Structure 1
């Protein structure tokens, strides 16, 4: 996730913090100090409310981290690589290097997160109950553990809603996958339920705003919108992987291209390479070694009047800044890189040697052709 920074490393897993986490941390701290603690504990001083709010907000995000860490550790035990955990505005997300291969794997990885949240809720609830019995329930520590009990229980319940990509949606997908032996169909149904839940949250948000609760209503709408987009994107991504499963970058690489020397001008490059060969991206090569690429984006960075005096070498994106893919990489992986880096083509290498390009257009055309040939759509994975 772009805009994320490494915070620490736990159990060999990088813990990242996205810049949006700071925004939600500030908002949550403000709401706790001016809302929850202010309304429920009127005898507290302003300093007590703010101190308790900061501690409670930090402890809440620590709880979210434990929730995601549980997902990651179980995934790793199941043999799935775990890249990182990122805390962001909507909570946390574990980045897995591969999808579960069986319904059992999916179920175990998904269910453990809510279970950890409920365990935390029970622990904090027990501490809050003891504090209440000892007349310390109205103290800042007692109030903090009560809040943590409530919020962790809420996180557990919310994540068990049976809509993909929530944990409950993944549990539903695992069950449907086990029953129907079709991962794509199971994902489609779980995504539909996720979309319904998303629109329900948006409707609740609109009603809340009409009733005067603007902040709470807006938050419901934002969460609903986020879940709607992720549910659809997750299904489309799996559909894409299913359609292009087994296709390697080398099968799709365009090996017919004209390479330019580094010392010609951009005017010459445009006239004799790009326009003459209908080539939007030109490799810069010397003695069979790739030095860099000149793309349309590179050209646009140079004023048109300077094309005659600017060399290809001066305008190109150098090789060390390029994201390259090997011929043995899966095509879906190449498209992920293009999407993440916001580029339309990638250099393809074989044993470290540049041999051609793979483009976003080539990938999408292949997917369209295969989908049409299959007629009823891609087959599910059993």
Structure 2
């Protein structure tokens, strides 16, 4: 994500912090500071100690979430799945995986690894607090050790919540793996998504009845997540066994790197495409889109050239690649098109629009 920053790597996986994480971290710290014991540090003096412990607890909580995601990633890597990154953001953590294991047993193990890790951390913290800290007055009266109890309770909640049988929680994937042993992958996804949507509706009704707005908000998150999982799975399966070379555009229209941005705009209106490869002879130099043009002020467009605004790091695929793999690629990279290159030569281009058109035709 462009709005995230890399802070390091674990097991070769880039760890990133999203901008929303930087917003939610102080909120969590403040909540811990104003809540009474044993759920917070209200009354701890001096204030610097109270807020320091609150910040520490918030950081350790998100470190637990990172361990949760690393457990998913480790299990996925054992099955040959590439993990592009792990990002901590507003709602927790997300592992960006190249693909989801299709074998029911593999998906179940990968999905359950995260919640089980959270439950282990939770039970371990509570056992330490209950058997070591609580019986010892010298330790139990020290508010610093309360952090262990809070981490234990929060990790138990995290583990149980993620085991709910609803997408996008891990329990939804475990449920799909159960269904996939008895039916096709698409039908298994539809069945698991239906359970998730039903669960979300019940949660929303409960929240309205008790007057708690958090439940409807979480229910909306679950409902949308289930719908998106169902849609994306259906799209990927629909595009399976379709090769890029069968649906790509072979007559590639390109532009010169020396073309002015102003002339490029006229060219786009004429050809009615929003992106073009930049070619110099038979050599691919980059790719330029309407988004690149928008970053150039109007007054500079007559003198600025395509070479000044083009993207030089071109994402490409071979002609024998699966269309379903390209769909995941353009979705994860948030790009509109990929170049098709065979033995170093540009042989075609495949856009997001082409993929959507094929999806519509196949669904018909």
1:289 aligns with 2:290: no
In structure 2, the partner of 1:4 is: 4
Q: Distance in 1 between matches of 2:10 and 2:257?
A: 46
Gap regions ≥5 residues in structure 1? 211-216, 373-382
In structure 2, the partner of 1:331 is: 323
Q: Deviations over 1:141-177 (max 9, x none)?
A: 3321111121111111111111122111111111111
CA contact (8 A) 1:255 1:355 kept: yes
Q: Distance in 2 between matches of 1:198 and 1:219?
A: 12
Q: Distance in 2 between matches of 1:10 and 1:283?
A: 36
In structure 2, the partner of 1:161 is: 164
In structure 2, the partner of 1:356 is: 348
In structure 1, the partner of 2:22 is: 22
Provide the secondary structure at the position in 2 that maps to 1:320: coil
Alignment of 1:257-272 (within 5 A): 257-261=252-256
Change (3 A) 1:316 1:253: farther
Change (3 A) 1:266 1:163: closer
1:83 aligns with 2:84: yes
In structure 1, the partner of 2:115 is: 114
Alignment of 1:145-184 (within 5 A): 145-178=148-181, 180-184=182-186
Which of 184, 187, 193 does residue 191 from structure 1 map onto?
193
Change (3 A) 1:254 1:126: same
Q: Distance in 1 between matches of 2:21 and 2:263?
A: 49
Provide the secondary structure at the position in 1 that maps to 2:167: coil
Provide the secondary structure at the position in 2 that maps to 1:133: coil
Gap regions ≥5 residues in structure 2? none
Q: Deviations over 1:16-68 (max 9, x none)?
A: 22121122211110000012449876652123321221121122112112221
Q: Distance in 1 between matches of 2:81 and 2:242?
A: 22
Tell me the CA shift for residue 187 of structure 1: 1.0
Which of 289, 310, 325 does residue 318 from structure 1 map onto?
310
CA contact (8 A) 1:188 1:235 kept: yes
Q: Distance in 2 between matches of 1:43 and 1:281?
A: 60
Q: Deviations over 1:199-227 (max 9, x none)?
A: 4444455456x4xxxxxx45444433333
Q: Distance in 2 between matches of 1:223 and 1:302?
A: 40
Which of 236, 241, 246 does residue 236 from structure 2 map onto?
241
Provide the secondary structure at the position in 2 that maps to 1:8: strand
CA contact (8 A) 1:32 1:38 kept: no
Number of aligned pairs?
361
TM-score scaled by structure 1?
0.82
CA contact (8 A) 1:294 1:316 kept: no
